[in-house]
Amino acid sequence: MKLILLGAPGSGKGTLAKKITKDFEIPQISTGDMFRQFASEGSELGLKLKSYMDSGKLVPDEVTIEILKARISKDDCKNGFILDGFPRTVPQAEALKSLCEIDSVILVDLAFEEIIKRLVSRRVCPSCGDIDNSEYEGYTGKCRKCGTPLYQRDDDKLETVKNRLEVYEKNTAPLINFYSDRLFKVSSKGTPEETYAPVKTFLSNLED
């Protein structure tokens, strides 16, 4: 099963991807996570990637497509994958089309107002990747799964968030039309479990 998660930054793609990965045993491929990994290693490429991310700009298509291509040709992608954060532009979608056939595109839908609220209070575990929110009940600043102190991503500051949403409108929203023949739309207004329920039903039917 080859899937794409489409939606604005902060709409909840990553959280949904983790649930799908667990139930359907296909890897989550997040270009953002891969770029942050490169950035943390401090190579010349990594530093360049970080400067794009910190200003809320997209990484150029050529670089992004190259990295994605290498990733999906790995062994663990044989039975499928979930793309989280790719494609983000029409040229990326066209490049992907020449590589493989995507079964379904899940559009994660949330109002920008709510996205901004969630992103500026989002906190991430540097060790296991778990996502939390400083406004949620029981928040302690430490990861609920592994106890590591959580941090705020550099690009989750308000000004950068606004840039990222503009970039989404302009470059990524057109993909909704590109994939109109295989789109499944879900609202992420509720809890992660409420968001996942209709997706799980849909994917279970897709599998048989």
Binding partner selected for residue 128 from ligand ADP, Zn ion, none, CB under the kind-specific 5 to 8 Å limit: Zn ion
3-state helix, strand, coil in the chain (%, to 5): 50, 15, 35
- Of the candidate spans 21-29, 52-60, 109-117, 196-204, the one that interacts with ligand ADP by CB under 6 A turns out to be 52-60
In the window 155-184, what residues touch ligand ADP (CB under 6 A)? 155, 164
Q: How large is the C-alpha radius of gyration of the chain? A: 16
- Please, are residues 122 and 133 in contact by the beta-carbon 8 Å criterion? yes
Catalytic residue list contains 144? no
**By the rule CB under 6 A, 67 interacts with ligand ADP:** no
Closest CA relative to residue 124, chosen from 32, 58, 6, 200: 32
Length in residues, the chain: 208
Q: How far is the CB of 151 from Zn ion (least distance, A)?
A: 11
Catalytic residue among 36, 71, 88, 118: 88
Catalytic residue among 18, 36, 71, 164: 164
132 bridge partner residues: 123
Q: How far is the CB of 130 from Zn ion (least distance, A)?
A: 5
Q: Give me the active site residues, please.
A: 13, 88, 122, 153, 164
